[in-house]
Structure 1
Amino acid sequence: MKKLFLFDAMALIYRAHFAFAKTPRISSKGLNTSAVFGFTNTILEVIQKEKPDYLGVAFDTSAPTFRHIEYTPYKAQREKQPEDITIAIPYVKKLVEALDIPILILDGYEADDIIGTIAKKAVRANPEIEVYMMTPDKDYGQLVEERIKMYKPAFMGKGVEVLGPKEVCAKWNIQNVDQVIDMLGLMGDAVDNIPGVPGVGEKTAQKLIEEYGSMENLFKNTDKLKGKLRENLENFQEQGMLSRHLATILCEVPIEYEEERLIKTEPNRELLEPLLDELEFRTLRRRILGEEPEPVAAKAKASPKVAANQMDMFGSPVAAPADFMMSDEAEEAVSHFNNLANTAHQYHLVQGEAAIKSLIGFLARQTSFCFDTETTSLTAVEAELVGMSFAYRKGEAFYVPFPADQAEAQAQVDLFKELFANEAIQKVAQNIKYDMSVLANYGVEIKGATYDTMLAHYLIEPEKRHNMDALSMAYLSYEPLSIETLIGKKGAKQGNMRDVALEDIKEYAAEDADVTLQLKPFLDEQLAKNPKAIELLNEVELPLARVLSKIECEGVNLDVAFLQEMSKTLETDSREVQQKIFEVAGQEFNVASPKQLGEILFEKLKLDPKAKKTKTGQYQTGEEILSKLEAEHEIARLILDFRELQKLKSTYVDALPQLISPKTGRIHTSFMQAVTATGRLSSKDPNLQNIPIRTPRGREIRKAFIPRDENFQILSADYSQIELRIMAAFAQDEAMLNAFNQGIDVHKATAAKVFKVGLDEVTSELRRRAKAVNFGIIYGQSAFGLAGSLGISRTEAKEIIDQYFVEFPGVKAFMDTTITNARELGYVETVLGRRRYLRDILSANMNERSFAERNAINAPIQGSAADMIKVAMIRIQAFIERENLKSRMILTVHDELVFDAHVSEIDYLRTHIDEIMCQALDLGVKIETGIGVGMNWLEAH
């Protein structure tokens, strides 16, 4: 049988676009190429795996079809087509033409009508043809027959599905495929706005069609039914039949079936080369145009003789045997990404002291090598080494397993100490901070130049994913072996790396080092386009990784007894507030249940006659809703109090002691460098950024963070209004610079100017308003937003903002210039050149464009603040080590640094920390810090 593949272009384009929604592929010119890339990969994968004889791609047009004419609401409720898809469609058509695949298109008909017509004509005209309709659209089930099948693309880990009549009937639970349209007629289709019969879902439709065979027969026998179902079927019979008509794929489109035209041919190189270059599809270019070697089979497992002499292979790679045949499993594993099964590689197991020393000798002769650790835990301080892998040339890597006995493991780690201390060798890794922390458990310090592929990519594409698998697929078109194939999915039942067979862990671990090594040149090529990014990587992010590793290893002492008492207090307070809620409501109910709470607020107490509901039919009872109801009824404030008490208790007070390391007796948060697009650090386990500070109860939690012993105190150093000072420096606004440089309260100074009063006449209320404007400007707040935050009219808020810009013209000029430059460049930069790309800055969608403009203003300010504290941390850590101090840096949260300060060093530390922080960056505006000392974090802050 010969194969004809017909592709539903729009269905596949949408699928590809949304598959990359969280991590879109953006070209250097700001073009979102996700849909084109995904669509192209789909076509190529079919060509590679299925080897079709004939191909065709069907497109919709914007012209109305008979469905639109006969039923005006057809597809009318669909959201406007995403702008990126509209831009992508012409590129997809050009690419299909360049691949020399016929485009099947006709005004007045949808792609499924065209595919249905061509499919039916093909099997009637040629008994040797089998047709595959490639689409995720379930409606195509009505078309299948013996030689016409649906070919559903893989999705969410589920492989490709090929559906014939038997499979379609099983999916729909029907007797024959003709009944698909009966099902659709009864159920309707929300996506296409086909109404169906009210109250009839899939299960009901299945039962009705199973019993009556067809819609016609069903409507003849409605008298045998009862209740609302009978009523709906009788009242909406005409609507149901119309729905079936709309859902029926037309197979009589006036389009010719030209078999010769559909024959698969070679791509049109002259059209394809410039198009792939424009789209920046380098890997696809090599793959399609044959400029990349054909994938070869995976190497055969080493024989006992080869394994015994594995050290002989360190110097030169051994080619795979010429007669090696790819296994069935390997062939099945082939996809549009290469992988272990179809890529030649030399991964060696290195065991025994002699073999390890020999490997170290080879590594010591390199100028750079890549390494990776395999451990028992993602928490570095608790992690024990299971193994280490090394690579220094493409396609070859070495795995060294470590014994479970920690004394023996330590002796083996000691063999590597000199190698990692060699400052002449660059050490390359993915998320090197984790590896530094794990090796620190064994007394190993990594010295000399380092390179982190995760951090490099973070500076290149800050808003994308930076994990090794994602980078490998994006840059190498290679899909690494998943950790879940070795130890299972995340969760309580996930296994441990110690339980994995040695051969399997060797392949997995060595591949990690090999892939990371191969990523480096691609990332270096991207970094070279922005010299400031190279400097940021080498002078800020990589040195900071060392500092953060040391901070994490230090950990923080926790006052568990205090938290236990606080937990009891919160429990008592929660019960009291809950009882008051019951009294006010006039009944007991589950306060934590949004459904029950909504009924109390809006049905029993009738607090808001226009109360909104969620899609599930429940009333909205979020914080914003309750805050608006506070003035109307005391129950709203009580519920907010109850929620705060519950969250503090469960999220912090009860949770923090559970995070104490049994090994050190302290908590060790993990700082993440490559998460926020602005450059800010974030943390997890615990998330220190979210520890409450705005409410009295929330602030109490900081009392639990205490010095390590009686010889230390907590010292807190916090930048004062750093983002406003940076904005003043960027804007070079004379009035704002004067306020900071002369030590005047900037919010009072702002209030005096905006509200036309003397400094001594500024009230606390006027200062509050000025503060809201100052910080609102940084985040691009509108008059609507300011009105909401201050509780004033929108008109008054607009007047305040307008007056602000009159009094601070430099700020307005800075904002306008920044947005103009962002439109021209497509990005904005911090003081140190950290870029934030703004692909929606020219969007026709006002909301998307406005959001990008707000980011254009905020990102350089917030990012420069992040750069500044990072530089300060690097210099402070160097100062502590240079002076051989007993004090330690233990936390960083936003613009604050926290130290375990030895009592004998407090004054010395205070002076130098202030000096280093204030001089971290030369901004041309006075920088101030607030430094406090106490027996706990709250007292110091």
Structure 2
Amino acid sequence: MAKKLFLLDAMALIYRAYYALIRAPRITSKGRNTNAQFGFTTTLVDLINKEKPTHLAVCFDTEADTERHTDFAAYKANRQAAPEDLTSAIPDIKKIIKAFNIPVVELDGYEADDVIGTLAWQAADLGYDVYMVTPDKDYGQLLIHKGVYIYKPPYMGSKEEILDAKKITEKWCIERVEQVVDMLGLMGDAVDNIPGIAGVGEKTACKLLKEYDNLENILAHADEIKGALGEKIRNGREAAIMSKKLARIITDVPVQFHEEEYMLSEWNIPELKDLFAELEFKALGKRILGDEFNVFEKVATTPSGGQMDLFVTVEEGKTIDVQVADISEPVENVGLTADKNISNTPHNYTLVEGEEKMKELVNELMAIEEISFDTETTGTYAHDVELVGLSFSYKQGEGYYIPAPKKHEDVLEFLEYFRPLFNDPNKKWVGQNVKYDLTVFKWYGVEFAGEFFDTMLAHYLIEPEGRRNMDYLSAQFLQYEPVSIDELIGKKGKGQMTMKDVELEKIKEYAVEDADITLQLKNAFAPLITSRKVDKVFADVETPLIKVLLDMEYEGVRIDKNFLSDYSKELEKEAACCEENVYAVAEVRFNLASPKQLGEVLFEKLKLDPKAKKTKSGQYATGEDVLMKLASQHKIVDDIMGFRELTKLKNTYIDALPLMINRKTGRVHTCYSQAVAVTGRLSSNNPNLQNIPVRTERGREIRKAFVPRDEHHVIVSADYSQIELRIVAAISGDPNMCDAFKQSKDIHTATAAKVYNVEEADVTKEMRYKAKSVNFGIIYGQGAFGLSENLKISRSEAKEIIENYKKQFPNIQQYMDAQMKFAQKHGYVETLLGRKRWLKDINSNNFTVRGYAERNAINMPIQGTAADMIKLAMIKIHSEFKQRKLKSKMILQVHDELVFDAYKDEVELIKPIIIDCMESALALPNEVPASADLGVGDNWLEAH
């Protein structure tokens, strides 16, 4: 068996791991960012499992200066400070490496690449195949030695890449790998602040090396090189010599490769378990250590009465920023500490069967004011499940489970026993994601008259970006690990069994435990809602919205299947036409849906862009941004983009919508989620209404499929007008912008007149377009570069427009500055109603991380206030319709728009109700008016 040594460039991999998850960080229950630890561990284990190295070591830089710093004081001086979360991760990562029994190699006075270079050559001399694991291109110079390779691990969906000397020369456009350092001496390296020769880039360096072979020879013949280039070389002589020295990797570092020390050996499992538990690597821990691994085994409580930052957990793929600065009450026993479970915790869970027992339970519960409840069902889509049973709890550690009959008609009779309980308006019902349970009941004709406390929504307002799985919340806040679904039905039963197949005693424990834990979570969250000062949003917005969304989902919307069928065929023909046009121009048939094949046609066959960029996987980038830039150069691009739009519309919406029609109602019932978007915006799925296209004519046509329920109804659509800009004007108090809205002016025309210093009547279409871009862009952190890219104008013109904008609307900049200062001081920002977003990184020394938090500090109060406003409008409209007992129903909410299935005889009655409720939902500061527009039609598009 060949001996394989892998040497890992630790800091390069750690940085890469951290930034790969920067928009969706992994946050532990104690608020720690574990991006770097998680990403590095994943890379390490995947490498071991896939490549099967016989020997391995991880090499680190140290904080000590090197000879390079002595030679050139500015070496690496332009690097921004590492994010605090990254630097704090390094001790954890070193512990993880050592727990895997892998050596950590570092030496003061030398960088990791020097250590790796030395060890690589030593091991190669002993007959090893050596793989240097790094994304750093500078390592190419080391491939002069036989048996040494660069291993670039997978990243952001790309595959791993193994580079040998041949591939390095091809990538660098050189003839020998020795010339890598010559290239760096000529063109420098901005990452390490190696200067090179000013004005000499990669292409010029490549050309010079082809003619003169190395840097020294180029400098020796500098007088022969004519023109500006010769002058640059002569002037940059000293910088080039220094740069080459800085770029050269040292291969005689005083370290020694010892085969026995670097050989992979048994892992220290107990140590890994402790580390993974502390870092809360639940899924990763199971994947590496086996199913028996349990994050909750390690106990790490927060001392009673201690204050702490906001404790947050997050699933992969979600975005999060977190911090609490103003905690008015201590938080006790918070942390991921599930040392309790059903087997070691006293409890009294009762199974209730039979008519008499059920009547006794109902009588008992009628005397209780606050009851936690939960439903057990046959699935997760509330609009198409069957009830398996009910559980109730009103005292910690106690509860009841009542199994439902098997047949649907018997369930209806079964629920009648509980109707007096559900009809009691004095009850407060506690639930986790209570809308789901209410939806299940509503399909059986049962509604609740009382109030609600939803623990999921409570936690959402306390920790807007936190994970909301009840099992995790239980561990975090109650130090209790609930029975898992795997324990209930067994892994083999997953996907094959429903709750109806599980033995009754097991369901009882599982179901009542849910109700019991939910009650305990309510008691933990109630004081936090008050101390975090989000009680107003909870009481006035999120809680009353539950019933509004419940009714909207239940109503659903009728879909015109015939229209979609015809439209699908139409788009299929158009897509085929676009496809044939592409083949005709390209003079070759290929898979147009394949980005790889498309890139080869565009950039190798047609040669549309000699500077075409490639993705991490090595194929050409063919995203929309790339195609947009090429659109003016070749007509083939229009057909490519047309094909993409047509096939996406057809596959994602037109062919998918009919499949979502409910078999019982013939209507589509979307599911709204209140606790997903950190801004407070609603999201939806099955179908996702928020993504219904509106920007293109073909996309808008999809709205024609959303139609009234019958000939006695029409679709009414009401939409806020420029609500986010109105909110900006209101909270900034900018006089010019406020006046424009008060006078009902077109805000973009009014802005253009101010920015370009012309009368409003003289504003051109182009001026208005540019002003509109500034209006929406500047409040989301867009600078001159972004504006110039959007408008296809020069950077200087974009800069001038922004400067004029700030002069004419000075309070906008003042608002942004004030928001930044507030966030830096308090660690959060908030909407007008007090919805908060915690910004953990607002004071980070790393400008990339800090910049992301700063943009959120500016735009969250705007977006969040808009979200609060439309939610309040929905609550008011729903209440008005109920009180008046109208037949018209609110059925859809999409961004700033509400859609109604309106009874024709009520249309003129509901128009002013809708407009008034929307415009009066939330009074904006500085008397800035909210404005809503309304339309009526035989389908959504016509009404919109």
Common topology (TM > 0.5): yes
CA drift of 1:138 comes to: 6.2
Contact 2:124/2:146, CA 8 A, preserved across alignment: no
CA drift of 1:476 comes to: 1.9
Q: 1:819 to 1:354 in 2, by over 3 A?
A: same
**CA displacement, residues 220-268 of structure 1 (integer Å, 9 cap, x when unaligned):** xxxxxxxxxxx99xxxxx99999995586869xxxxxxxxxxxxxxxxx
CA distance in 2, matches of 1:597, 1:489: 43
TM-score by length of 2: 0.71
CA drift of 1:185 comes to: 5.6
1:574-613 matches, cutoff 5 A: 574-613=575-614
Amino acid at match of 1:482: S
Residue in 1 aligned with 2:361? 359
Residue in 2 aligned with 1:186? 130
Q: 1:406 to 1:181 in 2, by over 3 A?
A: farther
Residue in 1 aligned with 2:940? 937
**CA displacement, residues 494-544 of structure 1 (integer Å, 9 cap, x when unaligned):** 53222222222222222211211111122123212133x112111110110
CA distance in 1, matches of 2:576, 2:625: 24
CA drift of 1:475 comes to: 1.2
CA distance in 2, matches of 1:623, 1:467: 36
SS of residue in 2 equivalent to 1:930: strand
CA drift of 1:580 comes to: 0.3
1:485-504 matches, cutoff 5 A: 485-486=487-488, 493-504=495-506
CA distance in 1, matches of 2:19, 2:388: 40
CA drift of 1:484 comes to: 4.2
Pairing 1:753–2:716 present? no
CA drift of 1:681 comes to: 0.5
Residue in 2 aligned with 1:384? 386
SS of residue in 1 equivalent to 2:757: coil
1:538-687 matches, cutoff 5 A: 538-687=539-688
Q: 1:391 to 1:635 in 2, by over 3 A?
A: same
**CA displacement, residues 344-370 of structure 1 (integer Å, 9 cap, x when unaligned):** 333222221222222222222222111
SS of residue in 1 equivalent to 2:829: strand
Equivalent position to 2:102, from 139, 162, 165: 139
Contact 1:139/1:180, CA 8 A, preserved across alignment: no
CA distance in 1, matches of 2:60, 2:793: 50
Residue in 2 aligned with 1:863? 864
CA distance in 1, matches of 2:36, 2:478: 18
Pairing 1:891–2:892 present? yes
Pairing 1:529–2:531 present? yes
Tell me which moved more, 461-470 or 538-547: 461-470
Amino acid at match of 1:599: E
CA drift of 1:436 comes to: 1.0
CA drift of 1:854 comes to: 1.4
CA drift of 1:477 comes to: 2.6
Tell me which moved more, 184-193 or 637-646: 184-193
Contact 2:97/2:103, CA 8 A, preserved across alignment: no
CA drift of 1:788 comes to: 1.1
CA drift of 1:191 comes to: 8.6
CA drift of 1:489 comes to: 7.6
**CA displacement, residues 327-349 of structure 1 (integer Å, 9 cap, x when unaligned):** xxxxxxx9965333443333222
Q: 1:460 to 1:513 in 2, by over 3 A?
A: same
**CA displacement, residues 587-607 of structure 1 (integer Å, 9 cap, x when unaligned):** 000001111111111111111
SS of residue in 2 equivalent to 1:347: strand
Q: 1:487 to 1:247 in 2, by over 3 A?
A: farther
CA drift of 1:187 comes to: 3.8
SS of residue in 1 equivalent to 2:375: strand
Contact 1:184/1:247, CA 8 A, preserved across alignment: no
Residue in 2 aligned with 1:126? none
**CA displacement, residues 90-141 of structure 1 (integer Å, 9 cap, x when unaligned):** 9x8xxxxxxxxxxxxxxxxx968xxxxxxxxxxxxxxxxxxxx985546369
Contact 2:124/2:147, CA 8 A, preserved across alignment: no
SS of residue in 1 equivalent to 2:481: coil
Bigger relative CO (Cα 8 Å, ≥ 6 apart): 2
CA distance in 2, matches of 1:87, 1:275: 25
CA distance in 1, matches of 2:733, 2:471: 44
Amino acid at match of 2:102: D
Residue in 2 aligned with 1:835? 836
Equivalent position to 1:473, from 461, 472, 475: 475
CA drift of 1:414 comes to: 1.4
Contact 1:713/1:900, CA 8 A, preserved across alignment: yes
1:698-777 matches, cutoff 5 A: 698-777=699-778
1:80-95 matches, cutoff 5 A: 82-87=83-88
Pairing 1:928–2:927 present? no
**CA displacement, residues 849-884 of structure 1 (integer Å, 9 cap, x when unaligned):** 122111111111111110011001001000001000
**CA displacement, residues 189-234 of structure 1 (integer Å, 9 cap, x when unaligned):** 449989798888999xxxxxxxxxxxxxxxxxxxxxxxxxxx99xx
Tell me which moved more, 394-403 or 857-866: 394-403
- For the aligned residues, what is the CA RMSD? 4.3
Contact 2:25/2:33, CA 8 A, preserved across alignment: no
CA distance in 1, matches of 2:67, 2:675: 49
Amino acid at match of 2:931: E
CA drift of 1:648 comes to: 0.3
SS of residue in 2 equivalent to 1:674: coil
Q: How many equivalent pairs are there?
A: 735
**CA displacement, residues 610-639 of structure 1 (integer Å, 9 cap, x when unaligned):** 222222211111111111111122222211
CA distance in 2, matches of 1:377, 1:583: 50
CA distance in 1, matches of 2:788, 2:20: 36
SS of residue in 1 equivalent to 2:781: coil
Amino acid at match of 2:579: Q
Residue in 1 aligned with 2:794? 793
Tell me which moved more, 847-856 or 542-551: 847-856
CA distance in 1, matches of 2:25, 2:824: 23
CA drift of 1:847 comes to: 1.6
Q: 1:279 to 1:34 in 2, by over 3 A?
A: farther
Contact 2:133/2:150, CA 8 A, preserved across alignment: no
Residue in 2 aligned with 1:150? none
SS of residue in 1 equivalent to 2:719: strand
Q: 1:336 to 1:794 in 2, by over 3 A?
A: same
Amino acid at match of 1:841: I
Contact 1:391/1:397, CA 8 A, preserved across alignment: yes
Amino acid at match of 1:277: G
Contact 1:183/1:202, CA 8 A, preserved across alignment: no
Amino acid at match of 1:915: D
Residue in 1 aligned with 2:213? none
**CA displacement, residues 668-712 of structure 1 (integer Å, 9 cap, x when unaligned):** 000010111100001101000100011000000000000000000
CA distance in 2, matches of 1:535, 1:931: 30
Residue in 1 aligned with 2:813? 812
SS of residue in 1 equivalent to 2:872: helix
Q: 1:642 to 1:243 in 2, by over 3 A?
A: farther
CA distance in 2, matches of 1:180, 1:417: 79
Amino acid at match of 1:932: G
**CA displacement, residues 694-750 of structure 1 (integer Å, 9 cap, x when unaligned):** 100000000000000000000001001111111110111111111111111111100
CA distance in 2, matches of 1:472, 1:740: 48
Q: 1:17 to 1:596 in 2, by over 3 A?
A: closer
Residue in 1 aligned with 2:904? 903
Tell me which moved more, 701-710 or 809-818: 809-818
Residue in 2 aligned with 1:508? 510
SS of residue in 1 equivalent to 2:374: strand
CA drift of 1:777 comes to: 2.0
CA distance in 1, matches of 2:21, 2:417: 46
CA drift of 1:479 comes to: 2.6
**CA displacement, residues 4-33 of structure 1 (integer Å, 9 cap, x when unaligned):** xxxxx999x999999997442486xxx747
Pairing 1:422–2:430 present? no
Contact 1:702/1:938, CA 8 A, preserved across alignment: yes
Amino acid at match of 1:939: E
